[in-house]
């Protein structure tokens, strides 16, 4: 299994390193490990509330679709590293730790999950 090291924009939250298996999304890894990441649309790429920054090793994830890119553009503070957690599917194992930053969830209007 690969590993993700989550860091958080929100003050007071400590980094957390978790496992992710091939075929799972970044959002799956959050849900499986009690890491808060809003996701209003039910994981169907219809909003931008699960926006994250994949800061390292993005090449281990499925390539971004045009649809995902359109929603990333609507996210708060999109950057080149931006992805939607629900669409960011791990395609291959790695021994490298993938660094993912979660934007401040208190600034996002969304359901508490």
pTM over 0.75? The answer is yes
pLDDT value of position 108: 76
Write out the residue range of the structural domain in which residue 70 sits. Answer: 2-106
User: Model confidence over 19-39: pLDDT tens digits?
Assistant: 999 999 999 999 999 999 999
pLDDT value of position 111: 54
- Within a domain: residue 59? yes
What is the rounded CA–CA span in Å between residue 67 and residue 46?
9
Number of structural domains found in the chain: 1
Residue with tokens 């993912």: 100
Q: What is the CATH number of the domain that holds 83?
A: 3.10.20.30
């Amino acid at each position: 299994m690969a590993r993700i090291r989550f860091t958080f924009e929100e003050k007071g939250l400590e980094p957390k390193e978790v496992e992710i298996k091939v075929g799972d999304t970044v959002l799956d890894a959050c849900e499986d490990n009690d890491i808060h990441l809003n996701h209003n649309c039910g994981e169907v790429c219809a909003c931008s509330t699960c926006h994250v920054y994949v800061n390292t090793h993005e090449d281990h994830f499925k390539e971004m679709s045009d649809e995902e890119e359109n929603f990333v553009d609507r996210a708060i503070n999109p950057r080149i590293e931006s992805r939607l957690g629900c669409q960011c599917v791990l395609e291959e194992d790695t021994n490298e730790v993938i660094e993912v930053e979660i934007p401040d969830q208190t600034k996002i209007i969304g359901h508490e999950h």
